[in-house]
Structure 1
Amino acid sequence: MTARTTARTGRGERARFVAAHTLPALVRGFVNARPGAARGHAGPGRPRWSAATLRALRERHGGAPVLVRGLGGTVLLILDPQDMRQFYAEPVGSLALPATGTDGCAHTGFRVERRAVDDSVLATGQSVHPSCGAFLSVLADEARRLTAGGSLEPARVRYVVARAARRIVLGDAAAEDVELGRRPGRSHDRAGARIAAYADLAEPHTLVGRARRHTDSLGRPDGLGPDQVGQVRQWLAAFDLVPGVLLRTLLLLGAHPAEQDAVAAEARAAGSARGAAPGALPRMRACVRESLRLYPTVPDLIRTTRAETEWRGVRHPAGTRVLLPVLFHQRDPDHVPAAHVFVPGRWASREADRDVRMAPFGHAGGRCPGEQLGLLVTAALCAEVLRGHRVRPVRPLLDPLGPLPAALDPQNIRLRLTRR
């Protein structure tokens, strides 16, 4: 019997893949690396060109994984939901996470033996964090700055979220320390020393306060070590994704006034009903998830195999880089109903959270442990805005009936606020 071989792209297909997918992603990474840049930016044409290129590859090769050479080397490209299920089902030990923060999750690059501590601190899998009450107080306090003017602009949103992040991670003493969020440079060592100092003052409900309870495996009784300071940086960096998600979600709600009224009513009623879980906001969270389906903060997931792995009967050696184009799959009209339309109701089903075609936070072992905390923070901030204000888009103006644009740069979003 002849051994099966993996499909490979021809020269023309490789050129189109690089031009439409790899090169724009590289440019996006360069833009995001600049000081003050808003993360999650994507050029306006990149998703549209990329989707057409990936769809053509899938049609030509029957949906099978394809080896394609990009600017960063050869990758095994996942084009079909059948192989997406295997991608997510593979244990983290088989498909290695990136060594850097490219997944936008708090555990990225985190040592496996410390994952249990990270899960405990972030309350992974719990829709309501144990520190929910304290966090909601912080968010309500900071949200006053969001609604102080008559508009919502990216710079103000970033400022407010960064303050809230420092208070949630390190405590109130760190609220004004803007240097903590800067990328490594001259101030890197000084900021690290201050992180350790803030940890000594951190309130018990903060992430650092919760982390210090695990002194047997996370830190030392007399302070945080270098690894723990690095992890605090990762927690703070994860909050950098919130402003873009917040602005896109409010923009989408501005274009869908009926849904906006529904989540505003939910926000006003939150906590008033007996037995209601504060911060749960299921309808608002569904809107955030739908925003992330349409505009994921991480358009591509890249893993590296640690052992020989078989895909559709073809064995690939250890060290193979596997690329899952999340944005393409989440907005693939061939497999996702109403793929280009804002439909938060799709998240009402429990099955939606396990649907591999829609993975705002990943699945299985590679799922982001900060998922629920991220949803709590973003939904709570949206609720604080909408509880007393109506949001109206200034730019861009979206067609509520769709299809929605392929990309939304949060830097270009402007929203007007009016009292309800």
Structure 2
Amino acid sequence: MPRDTTHAGSGQPSPDRDGAGQVPLLSASDHARVLTRILLSPVVKGPIVRRPGPVNLVERFDLDSAGVREMQRLHERYGDGPVQLRIPGRRLALVLAPADVHRVLDGTPEPFTPATLEKRGALNHFEPESSLVSSAQERRARRPLNEEVLESSRPVHSHAEVMTAAIEREVTSLLGHADFTGTLDWDGFATAWWRIVRQIVLGAAAREDHQITDDIRRLRRRANLAYAMPQNRRLRESFLAQLRRYVEAAEPGSLAEMVARTPASRDAEPIQQIPQWLFAFDAAAWATFRALSLLTCHPGAAETAREEMTRAPELPYLRATVLESLRLWPTTPLLLRDTTEETTWRTGSLPAGTAVIIFAPYFHRDERHLAEAHRFAPQLWLEGHEPGERDDRAWPLVPFSDGPGICPGRNVVLLTCSMVLGELVRQRSLTAQQPLDTSTLPGSLSPFSSRFTVAPLG
């Protein structure tokens, strides 16, 4: 058990008890506030595929900041919690204390499994045998395969040279097009991004295979509605069959080649691990475009990044900038775990099958405990505080989750994001058309509406 950081609340009424000895249940009014101010925004934006319109609205009304303020209010009222809420057919527990964040993430997959009811309902649409939604036994075969192919422990993947070459080619092409319009927008960036991703994951032959990324996007759109949307099994099987063909081709320098030559049992389901990598790269695109806003708006940052590109490939400053983008605007705002057995907390117990929720924006943007909460602070990641390096005494910054369930592809993602970001500023002078004050950053930032003026380096 982590240390107990319980402190008294503000003296307001305690929440109701949901049975003897159980974690307290929020009042009806607090239920409504949590549902509308904390849980609604991630659902409306799209949990699996982001919807640009709602994302832009969330930015306009700064709804993510409202969620952080609501979490602060709950903590002031109820102390370190956790607290419990109910929706029809589901019992939820909201984590309020840093120690409990560490406890839950360190306790993956038992007694806190990442294979939650909600994730299974969503991911079964396109990757029903992925490690993320596997049982503890299945996970023992699937997680190591992910870690080996993605080389989770290496900051720079052994295929970095091939990856970097693809990134340099595609960014050069992207900026050549942007020179005609004088503007870099999301649509142009996303087209180049997916050309890069297909080459990194599947090989150069996949550069123009828009169909494969269109197919997974169609499946992920259905996944936004989880159990409410019937599965399109025919499309899923066609998509997985195409992935299998790329693995069989095993193009040198691709992750598909790594899958082909990595020994794995049938239980590992190698093909079904790949969709999760493509899925993760979608979020990485948002993080990179937001990071470009940070670089172009913070005094001296672009120059620092440009100079660092001469010392590739580790790129610590660029990597820290991407991590700051993910801290400030988490692409996975809700970290979910289901309890596999009864668990005991300072405020009572929770039965097996409870969904435990960590609202990452609260822990990333709580100015009461984190002085850098609302400003661009790459030094947070330049001082040995990368994911996986923080212990249970550290304030939880969890852009890639943490503990045994930390994203196995974090280093591949960070390498890709850093190199794309670095190439953009190395080759051109970019100016954000919607300037940010990096000392007081908003709670939401839509990548879909961001635009940059492009000019030659002078």
Number of aligned pairs?
399
- Partner of residue 193, structure 2: 161
Q: How far has the Cα of 1:109 moved from its partner?
A: 2.2
2:232 is equivalent to residue 208 of structure 1: no
2:421 is equivalent to residue 379 of structure 1: no
- 1:398 partner amino acid: L
Q: State the secondary structure of the residue aligned to 1:43.
A: helix
2:239 is equivalent to residue 191 of structure 1: yes
Q: How far has the Cα of 1:153 moved from its partner?
A: 0.9
- 1:311 partner amino acid: W
Distance 1:38 1:370 in 2: 29
Q: How far has the Cα of 1:89 moved from its partner?
A: 2.0
Distance 1:281 1:59, change over 3 A: same
Distance 2:155 2:166 in 1: 18
Distance 1:10 1:412 in 2: 38
- 1:405 partner amino acid: P
Question: Per-residue displacement from partner, 1:335-363 (whole Å, max 9, x unpaired)?
Answer: 21120001111211114541442111111
- Partner of residue 96, structure 1: 113
Q: How far has the Cα of 1:415 moved from its partner?
A: 1.0
Q: 1:390 aligns with which of 424, 429, 449?
A: 429
Q: How far has the Cα of 1:88 moved from its partner?
A: 2.0
Distance 1:39 1:263, change over 3 A: farther
Distance 1:55 1:331 in 2: 10
- Partner of residue 116, structure 1: 144
Tell me which moved more, 238-247 or 194-203.
194-203
Question: Per-residue displacement from partner, 1:27-63 (whole Å, max 9, x unpaired)?
Answer: 12279366xx599878123212212211111111112
Q: 2:301 aligns with which of 256, 259, 268?
A: 259
- 1:410 partner amino acid: P
2:183 is equivalent to residue 151 of structure 1: yes
Q: 1:173 aligns with which of 205, 219, 222?
A: 205
Contact preservation (8 Å) 1:32, 1:40: no
Tell me which moved more, 24-33 or 336-345.
24-33
Contact preservation (8 Å) 1:7, 1:67: yes
Distance 1:319 1:285, change over 3 A: same
- Partner of residue 442, structure 2: 405
Q: State the secondary structure of the residue aligned to 1:173.
A: helix
Distance 1:328 1:40 in 2: 18
Question: Per-residue displacement from partner, 1:159-184 (whole Å, max 9, x unpaired)?
Answer: 11111111111111111111111223
Distance 1:88 1:172, change over 3 A: same
Q: How far has the Cα of 1:215 moved from its partner?
A: 4.1
Distance 2:239 2:160 in 1: 27
Q: How far has the Cα of 1:208 moved from its partner?
A: 1.2
Correspondence list, 1:347-366, <5 A: 347-351=381-385, 353=387, 354=390, 355-366=394-405
Distance 1:285 1:39 in 2: 29
- Partner of residue 331, structure 1: 365
Q: State the secondary structure of the residue aligned to 1:383.
A: helix
Distance 1:98 1:286 in 2: 29
> Where in structure 1 are there 5+ consecutive unaligned residues?
220-224, 271-277
Q: How far has the Cα of 1:4 moved from its partner?
A: 5.1
Q: 1:67 aligns with which of 84, 91, 95?
A: 84
TM-score scaled by length of structure 2: 0.81
Contact preservation (8 Å) 1:356, 1:363: no
Q: State the secondary structure of the residue aligned to 1:108.
A: helix
Distance 1:216 1:23 in 2: 40
Question: Per-residue displacement from partner, 1:217-272 (whole Å, max 9, x unpaired)?
Answer: 269xxxxx9x43332222222211122111100001111131221111101x12xx
Q: How far has the Cα of 1:326 moved from its partner?
A: 0.5
- Partner of residue 48, structure 1: 65
Distance 1:300 1:187 in 2: 28
> Where in structure 2 are there 5+ consecutive unaligned residues?
1-19, 220-231
- 2:299 partner amino acid: P
- 1:414 partner amino acid: R
Q: State the secondary structure of the residue aligned to 1:17.
A: helix
TM-score scaled by length of structure 1: 0.88
Q: How far has the Cα of 1:385 moved from its partner?
A: 0.6
- Partner of residue 94, structure 2: 77
Q: How far has the Cα of 1:332 moved from its partner?
A: 0.6
Q: State the secondary structure of the residue aligned to 2:356.
A: strand
Contact preservation (8 Å) 2:186, 2:447: yes
Contact preservation (8 Å) 1:212, 1:218: no
Contact preservation (8 Å) 1:146, 1:385: no
2:25 is equivalent to residue 14 of structure 1: no
Contact preservation (8 Å) 1:134, 1:205: yes
2:319 is equivalent to residue 285 of structure 1: yes
Q: How far has the Cα of 1:287 moved from its partner?
A: 0.7
Q: State the secondary structure of the residue aligned to 2:91.
A: strand
Distance 1:216 1:351, change over 3 A: closer
2:149 is equivalent to residue 127 of structure 1: no
Q: How far has the Cα of 1:289 moved from its partner?
A: 0.6
Distance 1:156 1:381, change over 3 A: same
Distance 1:308 1:179, change over 3 A: same
Q: How far has the Cα of 1:156 moved from its partner?
A: 1.3
RMSD: 2.6
Distance 1:316 1:409, change over 3 A: same
- Partner of residue 273, structure 1: none
Identity %: 29
